């Protein structure tokens, strides 16, 4: 059985993951419309991963006999600026998600919900990896600035991202 508090927090996290997915899909469309197909592809893979994260939380909640309650998804912006600004936005967002996951872990500890603590281990590791890969991309984008050839090279590289 799951406590009310854990149930509410997991439902909030499902909303956060779906919000992330929604925003990354919007960013992907934005990049593609600017002819950056590689960055668009990278963000589309990210969108799929976030949808997968939401499903993991839904499955955990259902397996524990909890009740899944969907909430409103925010409308993402339609403009995201330069490619550097797009990925700075992704990095800031992922850092926020990491804080949510850590907060969720704190709640699981306080509620003595060991199963949820174990379940969250995967997400804690995943956030470390996600932040590292986005931070690397941001660093490279800072290095190349708006130099056309180098930016197109990074776009091509981003287009090789495989589905997680």
CB-neighbour burial class of residue 24 (10 A; exposed 0-12, middle 13-18, buried 19+): buried
| CA pair distance 2, 18, nearest whole angstrom | 22
Query: For ligand FEO, which is the closer residue by CB, 35 or 99?
Result: 99
Binding mask 118-157 for ligand FEO (x = CB under 6 A): ------------x---------------------------
d(CA 133, CA 130): 5
Q: Sort 65 into a burial class: Cβ within 10 Å, 0-12 / 13-18 / 19+.
A: exposed
State in angstroms the smallest separation of the CB of 103 from ligand FEO: 14
15 lines the binding site for ligand FEO (CB under 6 A): no
Interface with ligand FEO (CB under 6 A), residue from 97, 108, 120, 151: 97
Q: Are 154 and 37 in contact (CB under 8 A)?
A: no
Nearer to ligand FEO among residue 71 and residue 156 (C-beta) = 71
Tell whether residue 53 is a contact of ligand FEO (CB under 6 A): yes
Of residues 49, 67, 47, the one with CA closest to residue 7: 67
- Residue 47: CB minimum distance to ligand FEO, A: 10
CB of 98 to ligand FEO, least distance (A): 8
Instruction: For residue 20, state whether it binds ligand FEO (rule: CB under 6 A).
Output: yes
CA–CA separation, 133 and 42 (whole Å): 11
Nearest in space to 83 (alpha carbons), one of 20, 17, 132, 152 = 152
Least distance from ligand FEO to the Cβ atom of residue 108, Å: 17
Question: What residues make contact with ligand FEO under the rule CB under 6 A?
Answer: 17, 20, 50, 53, 94, 97, 130
């Amino acid at each position: 059985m799951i406590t009310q508090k854990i149930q509410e927090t997991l439902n909030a996290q499902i909303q956060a993951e779906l919000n992330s997915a929604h925003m990354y899909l919007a960013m992907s469309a934005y990049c593609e419309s600017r002819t950056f197909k590689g960055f668009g592809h990278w963000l589309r893979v990210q969108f799929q991963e976030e949808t997968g994260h939401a499903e993991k939380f839904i499955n955990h909640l259902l397996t524990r006999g909890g009740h899944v309650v969907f909430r409103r998804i925010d409308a993402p912006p339609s403009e995201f600026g330069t490619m550097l600004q797009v990925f700075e936005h992704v990095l800031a967002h992922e850092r926020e998600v990491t804080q949510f996951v850590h907060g969720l872990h704190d709640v699981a500890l306080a509620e003595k919900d060991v199963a949820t603590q174990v379940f969250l281990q995967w997400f804690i590791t995943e956030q470390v990896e996600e932040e590292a890969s986005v931070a690397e991309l941001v660093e490279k984008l800072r290095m190349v600035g708006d130099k056309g050839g180098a930016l197109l090279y990074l776009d091509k590289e981003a287009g090789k991202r495989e589905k997680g």
